[in-house]
Amino acid sequence: MADVWQNAMEHAVAVARRAGEVVREALHHDRKVMTKSCSVDLVTQTDQNVETLIIQSVKEKFPTHRFIGEESVAAGEACILTDRPTWIIDPIDGTTNFVHGFPFVAVSIGFAVNKEMQFGVVYSCLEDKMYTASRGHGAFCNGETLHVSQQTDVKQAMVATEFGSSRDPEVVEKIFSSLRNILCIPVHGVRGAGSAAVNMCLVASGCVEAYYETGIHIWDVAAGSLIVSEAGGVLMDVNGGDVDLMSRRIVAANSRVVAERIVMEIEAFSPPRDDTPPLAP
């Protein structure tokens, strides 16, 4: 069975590279921009093309597998994670970055069996960095072993976060309250790549000690969650409990000490879960 998942991971790496080529080529052409939930929740034709490319390629090789894809869910498909082998796909994590030519744009492919991540692939395609991890076998970037930072003094930490697409004043207030609290610990600094997948890979690489966000989706963090874990990091919910990838809330850190200290400063709130059925019209 392990050989089957190894073949699947090799296919994920290959199709992520192909997807990256599509993304890089699209940067040189007109990037038609559309919106989804609001005016700052962007999607492009390239997002849709890349997801189609990945799913069709996987279906040819693994016809019985299931999929959770960002654009498929946006089009009305249910976001349900079962025990069956499931590919969790974000065709372009960092669509706003892509639209503006900001150089952190990732193809993210996670693979779960029995609701447990088995491998994760994040291809930061403008940097040409291929991050990979498989359960029990470590995490890598372009073949080099990754390990989280050993810094456990949060006052010497770099923290990553994002502001999300909600512009609801109450949500924005909680986001900035959390940011202010964390800055005033004080930490060395706060950064954001504009891509949840890339931010998680930065934790795995030891570049930042922690990343937290509320409002992300399972496809943003599924692959990155395993990359962080396999690099020696920890995952938890923003309230300090166990992480639930459907909850749209996550803290990824180099250690439990840092994670728990960050959690103390977060003003937690709960966006609608990814697996909550949409309201009937």
The answer to whether 175 is a known catalytic residue is: no
Q: Tell me the fold of 154-265.
A: D-Maltodextrin-Binding Protein; domain 2 (3.40.190)
For residue 72, give both structure tokens.
């498929």
pLDDT tens digit sequence for 195-252: 999 999 999 999 999 999 999 999 999 999 999 999 999 999 999 999 999 999 999 9
Q: Which pLDDT does position 151 carry in this prediction?
A: 98
Decide: helix, strand or coil at residue 276. coil
* Local confidence band at 74 (pLDDT 50, 70, 90 cut-offs): confident
The distance of Cα 178 from the centroid of its chain, to the nearest Å, equals 20
Q: Which pLDDT does position 42 carry in this prediction?
A: 72
The answer to whether 70 is a known catalytic residue is: yes
Which of 111, 74, 81, 114 is CA-nearest to residue 95? 74
Q: 51, 70, 71, 230: which one is catalytic? A: 70
User: Is a pLDDT exceeding 60 seen at residue 1?
Assistant: no
- Cis bond upstream, residue 186 (ω within 30): yes
The residue with tokens 């991890």 is 133
Q: 68, 88, 92, 218: which one is catalytic? A: 92
pLDDT tens digit sequence for 139-178: 999 999 999 999 999 999 999 999 988 899 999 999 999 9
User: Is a pLDDT exceeding 60 seen at residue 91?
Assistant: yes
pLDDT tens digit sequence for 263-272: 999 999 999 9
The answer to whether 83 is a known catalytic residue is: no
Which of 249, 278, 211, 253 is CA-nearest to residue 77? 278
Q: Which pLDDT does position 258 carry in this prediction?
A: 98
**Which part of the chain is CATH 3.40.190.80?**
154-265
Reported as type and span, the H/E element at residue 180 is helix 169-183
The residue with tokens 């692959």 is 223
Q: 47, 51, 71, 93: which one is catalytic? A: 93
User: Is a pLDDT exceeding 50 seen at residue 281?
Assistant: no
What distances in angstroms separate CA 199 from CA 88, 190, 252, 262, one per listed residue? Answer: 18, 11, 9, 16
The answer to whether 220 is a known catalytic residue is: yes
Which of 16, 48, 217, 51 is CA-nearest to residue 132? 16
Q: 220, 230, 265, 274: which one is catalytic? A: 220
Q: Which pLDDT does position 229 carry in this prediction?
A: 98
Task: Report the DSSP beta bridge partners of residue 191.
Answer: 160
Pairing type for strands 66-69 and 86-93 reads parallel
The answer to whether 93 is a known catalytic residue is: yes
Q: 44, 46, 86, 95: which one is catalytic? A: 95
Query: Which region, left, alpha or beta, applies to residue 167 given φ > 0 means left and ψ of -120 to 50 means alpha?
Result: alpha
What distances in angstroms separate CA 5 from CA 1, 107, 120, one per listed residue? Answer: 7, 19, 11
Q: Which pLDDT does position 41 carry in this prediction?
A: 73
Q: 90, 209, 265, 274: which one is catalytic? A: 90
Per-residue burial over 101-128, b = 16 or more CB atoms within 10 Å of its CB, e = otherwise = eebbbbbbbbbbbeeebbbbbbbbbbee
Query: Is there a contact between 248 and 261 (Cβ–Cβ < 8 Å)?
Result: no
225 compared with 1, residue with greater pLDDT: 225
User: Is a pLDDT exceeding 90 seen at residue 28?
Assistant: no
**Which part of the chain is CATH 3.30.540.10?**
2-145
**Which CATH number does the domain 2-145 belong to among 3.30.559.10, 3.30.540.10, 3.40.190.10, 3.40.640.10?**
3.30.540.10
Per-residue burial over 232-246, b = 16 or more CB atoms within 10 Å of its CB, e = otherwise = bbbbbbbeeeebebb
Query: Is there a contact between 258 and 224 (Cβ–Cβ < 8 Å)?
Result: no
